[in-house]
Structure formats: structure tokens, C-alpha cells
Amino acid sequence: MTTIHIRTFNICSSTSSITSNTARGRLLTALYTYITLNLLFSKTTSLVIFLIINNPYRTPTSHPGFALSKSKQMKPSSHPPTTYPFPHHNLKHSSSKHEGGKLITGSPLGRSTWEPIQTKTRNSITRTLGLINGAQNLSTTLYIHNSTAPPSPTSTHNPSLFTFTPHLNPNASDCVYKLQKLKEYLDSPPPLTIPPSYEKLTTKLGSATLPSLTVPCTTPLESLFKGTLFYNMFQDSSGLWYGDYGGPLFLNCGLIICWYIFKEEDILGEDEIIMLKHYLKVHKQNDGGWGTHIEGGSTMFGTVMCYVGLRLLGASRTEMEDSRKFIIDNGTATCTSSWAKFYLCVLGVMKWESHNSTPIEMMLLPDWFPFGPGRMWCHSRMVYVPMAWLYCKRYVYEKADDDEIIKQLREELYGEGEYEKIDWKKARTTVAPMDNYSPVTYMMSFVMYLLSFYESMEVFKPLRKYLRERAFKRAEAYLIAEELQTNYICIGPVNKILNMIISRDDKNRFERHKERIKDYLWVAEDGLKMQGYNGSQCWDSSFYAQALHESGMARVYPENVERLYSFLEGTQILSTPLSANSPAMFYEDSKERVKAFRHVSLGGWPFSTSAHGWPISDCTGEGLKAILALRPYVEEGVEAGRLTKMTDSRIFNAVNVILTLQNCDGGFATYENQRGFKWFEWLNPSEVFGDIMIDYSYVECSMASLTALSDFKVLYPDHRSDEIETALRRGKGFIKSLQRRDGSWYGSWACCFCYGTWFGVEGLVACGEGGSENVLRAMAFLKSKQCENGGWGEDFRSCYNKSYSPTGAERYGDSQGACVINTAWALLALIKGGEGDSDSVERGIQYLMKRQLSTGDWPQEGISGVFNRSCGITYTSYRNVFPIWALGRFRQWKERDTTNTLRFSTNLS
Ligand code: LAN
């Protein structure tokens, strides 16, 4: 009986479109389910089940598909309509402060790992699950986020809650993590000191600590309050919000190859293997292939990487027949892109002759030379240096020739008996059209041609030997510097694995690398994945801090705000006693920094954690703004010694990072100044990625840096004031120069024009351009894209095709193509641009309220993030943070007084 109720609810919520998903319908279903659960279980148990089955993962009714007019246009994904049972497996999530990991240097703050839980617990949980589900054979998996205690065996989980239906929506909604956090929250709800003026709200919308599941929100303030009540339940005790940072599919294979080559359990354990396999399987498309990321149509890059990954993890050839066919039909693995070829060479299923020359000698190029690793975008540099190392060593998995799976792969990837006959040299230039986002240019082909002579001619042998020996020494020092500066996390998941393979013969380095693999893993309904970074902790939390402040909600949750401040304070790079004493500090010395091509780190904020150690312009900007915004709320905590004071000198260090990051064009790039030239892009060898060769100035990075300077200027009018004025003036010019004719800005790091335009408007207003012609054009652009139902929507195709996606967010948003996150971005921009009283904003706010779930959450729709033009990346926090912020900004606008200063009135009438 229970099963039927729960499933009925799931089906209702997952297949209804926005129009049929009315407040009344949802309310009735919610009420019905809640009462049923209450009859069957204790109050806490029912709440846990209820909140989870009120699943934010909303699946639209159909998958429309669309025509491809240009060969470069992104293909839609087409996952098979199969639901997979959650495998029998248990992992729990932890933060390292509970682990006491000996081998970990740097601050453990914000570290996120998953671990298996005891079999005994697993059995008892499985039994409970069977009971709830009414199907004993459908035992499920429980993953536990280990930042606090694992749930007791009495906690209840329903396998159907974790059902992942990728053909409807391949985005998971972080139910696994949230379930665990929720349990912790309910076990010991934090004391909330809600101001008396909020009493009316709390009585209406729930207790002080729990959102009411039955009372609908009727005003924006109620919606805002419920949204924060819900999201705050998932704050980690260390003050941050964790979330899924998956999306790219090609990253898993690097890790799997590394594990396979070394076969060590502490690289990937039994539990992780099962879950990783599950993840790769559920993201397979109807045509047997995989996309480069979860929402993309199949590519040879994604397919070859996932195919090899799955086979190494133990999937049989027969169960992969359709995928093998996809590879063969698209020209065999010789037609995959260059990065996949690199991995195949390392594994020994492709010969190094098929790889273009990647000389490690690039490390010897002098600084004055117009091209060189120090001038490249740091992510490209950090990947191509270890790649060049492995290429120049012609590194191959040592047991490849005797390994049965490798022998089979050599047959499967190219066709029976073909491997020895392949013209490997020719394979250097073959690439399937679906992978060829940035075709190799004539100039690059010519460079490759010259390099192939250098690589193969006998006459160059002595010179090669001489140069290579020196280059290897220089590269080794460089790789070690990266490892120590990042406490072995490394800048990203690609160089993490490559550096680890290289460090194999150095026991100390290798062991430390292994300890930090877990930092990249994440578990969600779709299984375990290698994330695109070691998380987005600092970035997400900085935005939320500003949302809490701007909405007036920071006063309502003093406890959460203190914890949040404490996380942000502790995450400033090299600025806490622990991080300042880590080996990374050695490299902050200017001589060492220059050798390692690094910008100043001291005082910057990272995207993820302090231990990661790479400051980013916009993360520093958002981090600084967040700290400045929260300061008034934490004075008491600082005085009482509960919190560490942010000294002025720490704030000045952050400002220094920002000021020194401004480029000649007035804009800001990501991690470093722009050191190369645009023509470097002609040498982009990746094929699959666009604009990766240098660090360009972006609207996002510029807005965050400039708004931070502008906030800072108000509080510290005497510190470097002339420089700040100049920076703002130059920044304003840059932002204007990037605006497109239609009034929009292209967003490079999220989907897409709504995101970019929000940054553009916010930046211009901070530079004193409110009401200018540029801002008005942006307003007109946004209004022109509003859907009839009041929302806005775009998906990943906007980024890939660089034009507003023709059917909006129809695939994973609502039937009109609108979605929650883009609506929030558009609203943030419109209100900032002076449109707060417009009908457009009113309708947008109504839209957000309508789409809010009865828990206070919002549905998980399409993928939000993007990088390198062609790869999507997940941000599960965005669906909460941005709607809350937009509602909060709307509230502030409505309550502004005539002098346009804020009141943050708590009067609810
Ligand atoms: C990120 C994540 C954060 C992102 C923002 C801060 C949001 C952005 O405003 C600036 C660029 C930045 C820092 C960014 C750059 C590219 C990254 C590092 C990523 C998208 C996360 C993963 C991606 C990285 C390149 C993925 C690794 C894969 C390779 C192809 C090397």
C-alpha cells in the first residue's frame, strides 16, 4: 500500500508540466502523501521520506528534439528510457576534519569525500527499505555524506526516490546528499532565533525550523522565507553548502585508467567501482554512445572514453555491443579527438605514433618568446605540461601487451584484426565531425608537420637528448610546485590524474596524490562521478551570503550566517594560520611564483576550498563581497571570540589580488592576467574545446571584480582609492565593449545570455552606469526573451552555438521553454537595471513562486554551467540560491524608501 502512495506521488510530480502542476494539485498530493506517511511512520521518518519524495528533480513530459542546421550545432542527447535500480552499495560522505587524514596538508575546511559504510548497517537499512517499498528484492543503496554521523538504521529510504530517468532528464538533483543532511538536521535542529516580527511568517509556513509542507506561499516574502528555511537545512556544520559538480563524462576515464594501470584499492575501491560503472551506464544514449557531458549528444570523445572506462571496470563486450558499433560506424577510435587518443596511448590501446608531437621542450622557452606555457591559460598549461611529459617518455601501461582486456580493447576499438594494420601516423589528423568543435587550423597543421620532423629525424637526436633532459628537470620542478601549491589536489581533474601517473615512482608524492582523489568524487542518484573540480563550495556559498544579505534574511538566521562567515573567512587563500603554514606558502615568494608562472595568491578566494589554493578573479570578488556583506551580522560573534575577525590587512590583500588581475583591455580574466595573444587559438590542438589557449577577459570575471572594488570603496574610501577609480573606469569601458548589438552579453561559464547579461548589468551599475543607454538595451533584450508564462529559459545550446537557444529550456525546463535559474538571473538583472516595478518583473516573480515546490525547494532542471564553450557542468546549488536572491532583491526593491536606501523592514503586512 505504501509503495503505491509513494509512486503515485512521484509520477504526478515528475510528469506534470508547469501548467498542470498547480499549487492546488501539488498541495493535495502533498497532503495526501504526508498523512499516509504519518499513519505509517514516526513523525521524523515521515518527514524525511516526504521531503525526499517531494523530489526537486522534475522531469518534463517529452523530449522534443530539434533540427540541426549547422554542422557545428550541438546535438541533443537521447538517453534510453530505462530506469536503473540503484546498485547494492553504500558510501558515506565526510569532511576531512573528521578523518584526521595524516597525509593531507593545507586546510581541511570544505573537503568533501565519500566512504563506504559498514555492511551491517547496509543490511539493516536494506531491510527497512524493502519494507517501505514492499518489494524485498529491490534493495537499494544508501550513500552517506560523512560530514557528521551516518544515519541510524531507522532512517528510511525508498529506492524509487533515487530512480534516475535520464531519458527525461539526465541531471540528478542531489537527493542522496540531501537525504543525509536532512537526517542530520532533523536529529538536531539548530536553535533558531527568529526575530519576533517574523513570528507571523513562521507560524504560517511551518515551525521555526521546518518548512510547512501543506501551506502554500501566497506572497514573494513567504516564498523567500520558505526557500531559505529549506536551503538552510543543508548547510554543513563547517558553514558551506556542498553540491554535485559533475557533468563532463570524459573525466571518469582518466581516473579509471590510472586505477587500472596501478590496480590499487585506495585509488578506487570496490564500492566506488560499482557506483562509477552505474554512472557511466545510466548516461549512455540510445545510439550506444556518450556525450562529452551529460546533456550533449554522442561524441567520439565521450564514447571512446566511457567505453574504455566501462570495459576496464569490468563491463563485458556483449553488454557494450551497441557502443562498440557506434565507435566502428564513426570511423573507429582513430577518429576520436586528441585528448582521448592521448589516454588510449597511455593505456596501450593506441600507438604513440598516432599522437601529434607534444614536446616537453616548451618548458625551456624564454619568457620573452611570444609563445610558451607561462603565456597559456593555466588550465591548458597544467594539462599540456604533464601530457608532454608522458608523450616524451612514450609512457605506456607496462603490462599492456600481456593484459587480456587491453588485447580485447585493441580488437574492439578498431575492428577484428585491424590493430596491427593501422596507419597510425595518419590517425594524427583524423577526427569525427561530431568532435570537431574547433578544427585544427592550417597554421597548427604546419607546426605539427615541422615538429614531426624534429621528433623523428636521426640528425636531431643529440639536440633532442640535450634539450629534453633539461626540459624534464624544469617540468618536474613545475609539476611538484603545482602539487605543493594545491596540497596535491591540483588545479583540475585532468592534471590531477596525469600528475599522479607521473609521480608513481616517488612513493611520498604518489601516496599524497591518492589521498586527494576522494576530493573529486561525488555521489548522486545517477551514481558516483569524477567531478569537474574538487567542488564549488566557496563560489556557491559566496553567492548565497549575498542573497541572504540582500533579502534581509541574514537577520533571520544568525546561526547559519555565523557559520557561513566562518567558512568564507577560513577559505581565504594562505590567510589562516593553517594555510599559511602549508607548503604552498613557500611558493608565494615572488621568485618562486614567477618560476611557477603563478599570480599572487595571498588573500584571494578560490572556487572550492582554501587547500586548492588557486585564486580566481571572480571568486575573489564574490568572496570579498560576501565577507563585506556579512560583517555587520557577525560583530557579536567576533567580539565574543566565536569567530575570527577579518582584519583590514586581509581585506587589502584581496583587493590587491583583484587590482593586479586587471588586464590591459580593462577586463578581468579567470586566474591570471592575459599573457598570450588571441592568435594562440590558432594553435588549439584539442579539437573538442573552444577558446582555451589564453586567459581571456570575461564579463563574469570583470563584473565580480569591479563590484567588489566598488563595495570596498564605500567602506574604505582611503585605500588605493585612485587605483580603484581608474580600475572602475577602465572596467566600465570593457564591459560596454563586450555588449552585443542586441543588448546581451554572452556568458562563458553558465547558460548563457541571461547569465552574461545579469553580470553585464550588475557590473555597469556598479561602475555608475545605471540608467545608461547600455543598461536600457540590456533591459530591452531581457524583456524580449520573456516567455508568456513569465519565465525565461535557455539551455546549453546557447553556449555551444553562441546564439540564444531557439526553443529555450524546453527540454528540461517547462513546456514554454522557461526555467527557474535563468528566470532568476533575468530578474536580478532587471531589478538592478531599474525595472523593479515593471510588469515583466512582477510576472517573473510570480513564475518563481509558481515553480517553487511545497518543501521550499525548486525543481532541478537542465545543466547550468559550461566551460570551454562545449562542455556542460552541474551546479545543483543554483536552483536554490538564485531564486532566493531574486525574490530577495525584489523584496528589497519594494521596501526601498524614497531616498533609495534599504530598510529591510520586518513588517509583513
Ligand atoms: C571553472 C569553474 C569556475 C569558473 C568560474 C569561477 C565560475 C568562472 O567565472 C571563471 C572560470 C572558472 C574558474 C572555471 C574555469 C574552467 C574550469 C576550471 C571550471 C568550469 C571547472 C572545470 C573547468 C576545467 C577546465 C575542467 C577540466 C577539464 C579540462 C578540459 C582541463
Is 619 near ligand 1, meaning CB less than 6 Å away? yes
DSSP 704: H
Average pLDDT rounded to a whole number, residues 138-167: 42
Nearest CA to ligand 1 atom 25: 379
**CA dist., res. 527 & res. 765, Å (int):** 43
Instruction: List residues with catalytic annotation.
Output: 618
Give the least confident one: 28-32, 534-538, 640-644. Answer: 28-32
Give the closest residue (by CA) to ligand 1 atom 1. Answer: 867
Average pLDDT over residues 431-443: 96
- Residue 17 in this model has a pLDDT that exceeds 60: no
Nearest-atom number in ligand 1 for the CA of 491 is 18
CA distances from 565 to 191, 479, 559 (A): 18, 33, 10
pLDDT in tens, 370-419: 999 999 999 999 999 999 999 999 999 999 999 999 999 999 999 999 99
pLDDT at 586 over 70: yes
At residue 329's C-alpha, the angle toward residues 169 and 312, to 5°, is 65
- Higher per-residue confidence, 892 vs 209: 892
- How much is the average pLDDT of 606-617? 98
For 479-521, how does the pLDDT look when each residue is reduced to its tens digit (9 = 90+)? 999 999 999 999 999 999 999 999 999 999 999 999 999 999 9
Q: Which of the two residues, 818 and 58, has the higher pLDDT score?
A: 818
With beta carbons less than 8 A apart as the criterion, state whether 349 and 308 touch: yes
Q: How far is the CA of 247 from the centre of ligand 1 (A)?
A: 12
Q: How far apart (Å, rounded) are the C-alpha atoms in residues 456 and 814?
A: 57
- Distance in Å, CA 734 to ligand 1 centroid: 22
Which domains are present in the chain? 80-192+241-359+380-436+493-535 (1.50.10.20), 210-233+739-909 (1.50.10.20)
Determine if residue 743 is left, alpha or beta; phi over 0 gives left, psi from -120 to 50 gives alpha, anything else beta: left
Confirm or reject: Cβ of 616 under 6 Å from ligand 1.
yes
- Sorting pLDDT into bands at 50, 70 and 90, what band is 164? confident
pLDDT > 70 fraction of the chain, expressed in percent and rounded: 82
113-115/142-144 β-pairing: unpaired
Q: pTM (2 decimals)?
A: 0.88
What Å distances lie between residue 894 and 72, 222, 780, 834, 887, CA to CA? Answer: 45, 14, 22, 12, 11
Contact 774, 734 (CB under 8 A): no
Nearest CA owner, ligand 1 atom 3: 607
Distance of CA 379 from the midpoint of ligand 1 (Å): 8
Which range (81-85, 114-118, 271-275, 487-491) has the least confidence?
81-85
Confidence class for position 129, pLDDT limits 50, 70, 90: very low
pLDDT value for 13:
28
Q: Which residue has the higher pLDDT, 133 or 786?
A: 786
Distance CA 676, CA 282 (A): 41
Contact, 208 vs 192, CB < 8 A?
A: yes
- Is the CB of residue 385 below 6 angstroms from any atom belonging to ligand 1? no
Instruction: Walk across the sheet containing 142-144 and list its strands.
Output: 113-115, 90-94, 142-144
Q: Which of the listed ranges 172-181, 345-354, 575-584 does the model predict with the highest average pLDDT?
A: 345-354
607 contacts 568 by C-beta, under 8 angstroms: no
Do 130 and 136 contact (CB within 8 A), yes or no?
yes
CB of 701 within 6 A of ligand 1: the answer is yes
- Tell me what pLDDT residue 75 has: 67
Ligand 1 atom closest to 251 (CA): 28
558 Cα: distance to centroid of ligand 1 (angstroms): 32
Give residue 543's pLDDT: 98
Q: What average pLDDT score do residues 166-182 get?
A: 87
Which residue's alpha carbon is nearest to atom 26 within ligand 1?
A: 532
pLDDT at 908: 32
How far does the centroid of ligand 1 lie from the alpha carbon of residue 691, in Å?
Answer: 12
Mutating to test ligand 1, I would choose from 496, 519, 533, 540 the residue with most ligand atoms within 8 A of its C-beta, which is 533
Q: What is the pLDDT of residues 714-740, one digit of tens each?
A: 999 999 999 999 999 999 999 999 999
Closest CA to ligand 1's atom 22: 532
Ligand 1 centre distance from Cα of residue 735 (Å): 21
pLDDT of residue 133: 28
If one compares 46 and 148, the residue with the highest pLDDT of the two is 46
pLDDT at 215: 82
Q: How many other β-carbons are positioned within 10 Å of the β-carbon of residue 97?
A: 15
Q: Is the distance from the beta carbon of residue 543 to the nearest atom of ligand 1 less than 6 Å?
A: no
If one residue of 250, 305, 542, 749 were mutated to test the ligand 1 pocket, choosing by the most ligand atoms within 8 A of its CB, it would be: 749
Give the pLDDT band of residue 63 (cuts 50, 70, 90): very low
Ligand 1 pocket test: which of 539, 607, 624 has the largest number of ligand atoms within 8 Å of its C-beta?
607
CA–CA separation, 688 and 431 (whole Å): 10
Flag the least confident range among 62-76, 657-671, 801-815.
Answer: 62-76
522 φ/ψ angles, rounded to the nearest 5 degrees: -145, 145
Specify the amino acid at residue 161: L
pLDDT at 346: 98
Query: Is there a contact between 803 and 795 (Cβ–Cβ < 8 Å)?
Result: no
Residue 291 has pLDDT above 80, yes or no: yes
